[in-house]
Structure 1
């Protein structure tokens, strides 16, 4: 009689400790490397940021005042340039862009502008005005590009009781004017 010996089948224990250590390190590294949201940044300059900075006299010092009643464009030395009252549909961004383009045509080297923003102005309106004063869409060689207006934007707060200036009336001429 012959005995049949069965081979004992023993299964080797898997050692996955090294693999688990790798996963513990790899998963957080991969998660940290992911971009969860794309944030667009706008560089701002606040008045008085740079102490000891030399003041250079420029030919025009533009200020755009943004309040719920409308938008004013002024030169801090020469006074009011334009008043754009808000309509039923909101602020007149097209007229603002048009005015700024005409100013840029007269002062092509000017790159800075100051936004005076009222406390009641909502965030979306502020961002739209900032985009409007920074650039404008232009067609060059049958492609749409962004033309530069005033990319260096500074922000200041407008007083709470700030009212929109009255638009300049056309100058009257003749008898009794």
Structure 2
């Protein structure tokens, strides 16, 4: 195998990984866009004028987080437009994966902040923070802990070294 064959293999592997990443991120992109759309519409409801200054500040933070999450989850598409056709697919996959991870973290924070806001406005209780904290903990378990445990088990079963 020549060096160019190895490069072609890595480009093909990167193309495959890129396709998989796009399939995975579509769900998060859609969720972020829908959540952001609902957050934007809240300001146009009659009840919005009745929220407290603290709730208004939380709303502002939630909307900004939603905007950043949405932009971050869409960013790999723009990144692809700039790098496609330049023989940089492995770099694109690495950068795209980082953007998707960051976007998921931001989306999780947006959901948590929106949950606090919703529960606080609906109940007037600071229990909203406790409930939202429990939900965020559940996200950490589902999105981080369980995949890491599965990875560790898979590496032990295959005899691969842990990273």
TM-score (norm 1): 0.23
Higher share of residues assigned helix = 2
Name which one, 1 or 2, has greater alpha-carbon Rg: 1
Higher share of residues assigned strand = 1
